[in-house]
Structure 1
């Protein structure tokens, strides 16, 4: 049984391992690379089905440590490509993993974008059916937000991590603060269990399911007046309470999974529930920062 498994593993890894991350090509003196910006539209997949229950269960699950070890990293090519060597199987077979540099690192280094920014417009289904979302590389679309961008410095490189100075729900300051990550790859807003409790105490009808986390009445989708706000850079950035009714627990049922869940410790994550209310600009400069402003529809 071991042989087919190992062969399948090699078949999966081999094509990926030999790809050049940023191959160096010789250019003649008259060749130039022009800086520009480009846009990647976000198209909503009508076949996509949420699995919020599974996501919440993952948040609350804890995994033990199986093994702790080291992984040597070797520079094997004079460009930006690195490999880490590991051994898999019995007897051990060495495999090289490609630890690629990020796309924007290469784009900025090669002058392919006019500005070192990625801007994100991720509209909500509630507002306009989720139509017209986009990532912009190298430019900012001022028609997608209201007012001016407020820039908040990144507090720790490696993540788009900023200081969240407070949370206000329905006008009440909860008196909490933490470090937080603005993350397009996370669906919900994730905070500590204690903060999740404080947030939902301000939402009438909110209940905590012992297995599935926080629920809110689906009827709050009609509440367009109240906000949950996050203070960053001295400015409040709003999320409509209506957007906390993320998905029905049962079709046609009274309760919805909340867009705010606990399970985190010291580091919060402001995911798509936040970004669907606020235009975000990730500036990858010498002093990285994030610009934010309310979305304009």
Structure 2
């Protein structure tokens, strides 16, 4: 049966799935460090570390899991008629599409492509204004509708946001212009239709599934691929391990166990949750366990992260996640970031538990570079397989 599934998927990919090449820009964190503004920024946001995890109220929708300081995998879309091109972060941790507006006066909009509504023959203004709060700041958007194109995919009358105000740091340093959310409709600001809903309703996907491949050695020209409408078995080894979605909000699944080296921690004995988020670069973990993992990995907290000895990386233990009864190890070479000889853990803290009270992890690009990931909308499940 598994062999048949692979054959069918290959046929689906050939008949209509769309590949979007992802580019890898320089980390925003590295850009801000070079500009001399990173230290002050990090000190500032630490004043209120749980702000990004507060629940939504009114017209404010909070996306708690995007780490824009490191998120730098992006691809190209166009909006309008004639098409206006934008680079966007394809984000499974949010559900809205937004790009900068020509009316945006924030410095963050000056060096990015801006949508010119008057130049599009198919634009329809919406008028509603919303604030979307990310961990790194709030973006004010005004809704409108227009034609969305992603290569051969065309969605007419797609609702999207036009940003009128963006925080200078860190958005000014981002290589991408906007964000295209790929999470569930329940997360969308204002209850607007998501891009994926538009693709499904207008029969633009070969199958109700999409998948990500992130290269372990990305370049600006090629950082990986997003495949809309299928999966590519040529990009992973063995079979996909499927985990059912536990809450149709983010792509959230149950984490059954977590081990450091050969030692199962027991941290998930009463259950853990993991959000799979392509808009987060780092691996985030429950705050209660931070001290234990820093001790086990020999890391020291600094103003720029949790530092480790670059010469000792090969002796550090693997971090192993268990989904669907299958162990998915993360080697130290994957979770340690080496920036010009300065090594830090690709780990930060998740300050609050998941909505059901269980410890919450977020699997960002540090994890996803190692594991090809498929998002099955028809069966509400996420699949993992070791990337090639």
Q: TM-score range by the shorter chain?
A: 0.5 to 0.7
Q: What is the Cα-based RMSD across aligned positions, in Å?
A: 3.3
TM-score by length of 1: 0.68
For residues 118-161 of structure 1, what are the alpha-carbon distances to aligned partners after superposition, in whole Å with 9 as ceiling and x for unaligned? 11000222xx7685610000011001111100110010011001
**What SS does structure 1 have at the residue aligned with 2:281?**
coil
| Corresponding residue number in structure 2 for 1:202 | 296
1:126-275 to 2 correspondences below 5 Å: 131=222, 133-177=224-268, 178-203=272-297, 205-209=298-302, 211-222=303-314, 226-248=317-339, 251-253=340-342, 256-266=343-353, 267-275=360-368
- Worse-matched range after superposition: 214-223 or 103-112: 214-223
Q: Which has the higher strand share?
A: 2
**What SS does structure 2 have at the residue aligned with 1:154?**
strand
Total equivalences in the alignment? 234
Q: Structure 2 vs 1, CA of residues 115 and 96 (structure 1 numbering), >3 Å: closer, same or farther?
A: same
Structure 1 residue 96, shift from structure 2 partner = 5.6
**Separation of aligned partners in 2, 1:269 and 1:214:** 17
**Separation of aligned partners in 2, 1:146 and 1:200:** 31
Q: Structure 2 vs 1, CA of residues 96 and 240 (structure 1 numbering), >3 Å: closer, same or farther?
A: closer
Alignment of 1:51 onto 2:29: yes
Alignment of 1:70 onto 2:157: no
In 2, are the aligned partners of 1:228 and 1:240 still within 8 Å (CA)?
yes
| Corresponding residue number in structure 2 for 1:282 | 375
For residues 28-84 of structure 1, what are the alpha-carbon distances to aligned partners after superposition, in whole Å with 9 as ceiling and x for unaligned? xxxxxxx82100011233xx244167596687441669xx96349xxxxxxxx9774
**Separation of aligned partners in 1, 2:45 and 2:260:** 23
Structure 1 residue 222, shift from structure 2 partner = 4.2
Q: Structure 2 vs 1, CA of residues 104 and 197 (structure 1 numbering), >3 Å: closer, same or farther?
A: same
**Separation of aligned partners in 2, 1:97 and 1:110:** 20
In 1, are the aligned partners of 2:126 and 2:142 still within 8 Å (CA)?
no
Any unmatched runs of 5+ in structure 2?
A: 1-14, 61-124, 132-140, 145-189, 354-359
**Separation of aligned partners in 2, 1:280 and 1:293:** 7
Q: Structure 2 vs 1, CA of residues 197 and 129 (structure 1 numbering), >3 Å: closer, same or farther?
A: farther
Q: Structure 2 vs 1, CA of residues 133 and 71 (structure 1 numbering), >3 Å: closer, same or farther?
A: closer
